[in-house]
Structure 1
Amino acid sequence: MTEISQATVEQAVKTTCATVLRNEFYFSDLDGLAGDGDFGTSLATGYRIIDAEFDSLDKSNIGAFLLKISMLVSKHVGGSSGPIWGTGFMRAAMLSKGKESLTLADLTDMLGSAIEGIQARGGAKLGDKTLLDALIPVHEKMKEHVAAGTADLGVVLKDAADEAEKAIDATRTLVAHRGRASQVGERSSGTPDPGIVSIAIILQDWCKQFGVDRTPSVAEVINQPA
């Protein structure tokens, strides 16, 4: 099975920084439809620091690198996103400690552990209209590819992006049960969750970065800032 190099992991994080910064106001606008409108700014505040300090981050191994990302996210990303995203990176770092490359099975286990950590930290579950509604289907799809012995990581990435994009429409009519959007009750129905949209856009940008041919089909991903 093709391995995922540390350089690829680093590039994925670097690309995520660019995605978050480019979409700072877009993500906040989406959040403003049912939340307090600060999601994009909260994320960008932390990822701007990661981007600025990127060259000096500990890159002795993947786990050390992701642990530093976790620390920066937890410290600098505001609102509930900091603890949630920071926990995800921390749990992924724990399973990649000392590793300089990853198999698809490794990456799948890391995402599974991240999901468990996020659920424990925030109390959300599938169907609560949070980023978990994107991450859990992505994880399930990755597990299918591990079981099938898929060697083409581009296929896995494309399928992951497809699952995240499906989650935008699948949850659009749901009422949020976690986060600020949950405070407006029924008003959250009919609006996209910005956390789910952010995951879908990050995965679409990873497709572009790593040469995976994929055309988005959901308006929130199609209409992201160029």
Structure 2
Amino acid sequence: MSSPSTPVGDLAFVVRTVARTAVDNEKAFGDLDAVAGDGDFGYSLARGFEIVLSDWDTLVSDSPAEFLKRVALVISKRVGGTSGPLWGTAFLRASTAVKDRQELKAEDVVAMLRAAAEGIKARGKSDLGDKTLLDALIPMTDALEQRLTEDGAGAGPAELARLAATTARTAADATTPMQARRGRQSYTGERSIGSPDPGAVAIAVMAERVAAEWDARD
């Protein structure tokens, strides 16, 4: 999965795309959060990922684990509200999943996503079904793992990126009729029913952009 564009190849492309997506969708994510939350999700996420983009040259490393760890520290320090600890933990746990890797395989991607989800579960005391970003992240990870189990050798990166995007979108949409049981939206009770979870939607939008831009990446 390596690429000549950066020392950590495709991983750097994905993280940079995630960062750009967070910044570009600040208003959309904030408006969605305002339906049943405090509306600061888009703002908080964008401010942190702006720093990731502005400090990019100091973050990229020859080691995938070190790169993710550096990103985690920026997110933890610069993203406000509950998003900072959760997203920071996700990147930090992902880094530990590949601490001995210099080049990443598809199985490592699943390991990173799984570790990120487990970190969010622990930090947010949440799980699948609580109407959080986990409701998109976990199904997306499960779908990738299943695809690799079925036919790992035949699953190319572009195909896996498309699978991640379609699965995350379906899962995010499925949070609409759910009542939030964790996070600020849970404080509003039944008011959280009828709109998708902002974090789950963010995962879907990020995955969709990665898939759409995969073949055109530098």
TM-score of the aligned structures, taking structure 1 as reference length:
0.89
Q: How does 1:111-126 map to 2 (within 5 A)?
A: 111-126=113-128
Number of aligned residue pairs: 210
Matched, 1:181 2:185: yes
Q: 2:204 is matched with which residue?
A: 200
CA contact (8 A) 2:173 2:201 kept: no
Amino acid at match of 1:50: V
Distance 1:68 1:170 in 2: 33
CA contact (8 A) 1:134 1:196 kept: yes
Q: 1:221 is matched with which residue?
A: none
Matched, 1:73 2:70: no
Q: How does 1:74-89 map to 2 (within 5 A)?
A: 74-89=76-91
Gaps of 5+ in 2: none
Q: CA deviation at 1:98?
A: 4.3
Q: CA deviation at 1:86?
A: 0.6
Q: 1:94 is matched with which residue?
A: 96
Distance 2:88 2:68 in 1: 10
TM-score of the aligned structures, taking structure 2 as reference length:
0.92
Q: 1:105 is matched with which residue?
A: 107
CA contact (8 A) 1:129 1:171 kept: yes
Q: Secondary structure at the match of 1:198?
A: helix
Residues 33-69 of structure 1: CA distance to partner in whole angstroms, max 9, x if unpaired? Answer: 0000000001011101111000122412110000000
Q: 1:55 is matched with which residue?
A: 57
CA contact (8 A) 1:4 1:104 kept: no
Q: 1:7 is matched with which residue?
A: 9
Q: 1:224 is matched with which residue?
A: none
Matched, 1:146 2:155: no
Distance 2:213 2:102 in 1: 21
Q: 1:17 is matched with which residue?
A: 19
Residues 124, 4 of structure 1: CA spacing in aligned structure 2 closer, same or farther, 3 A cutoff?
Answer: farther
CA contact (8 A) 1:43 1:81 kept: yes
Q: CA deviation at 1:156?
A: 1.2
Distance 1:93 1:121 in 2: 16
Residues 86-126 of structure 1: CA distance to partner in whole angstroms, max 9, x if unpaired? Answer: 11100110122242321111111111111111101111111
Q: CA deviation at 1:7?
A: 1.6
Matched, 1:160 2:164: yes
Residues 58-89 of structure 1: CA distance to partner in whole angstroms, max 9, x if unpaired? Answer: 41211000000000001111111111111110
Identity %: 43
Q: CA deviation at 1:168?
A: 2.3
Distance 2:60 2:210 in 1: 22
Distance 1:27 1:119 in 2: 22
Q: RMSD in angstroms over aligned alpha carbons?
A: 1.3
Gaps of 5+ in 1: 213-226
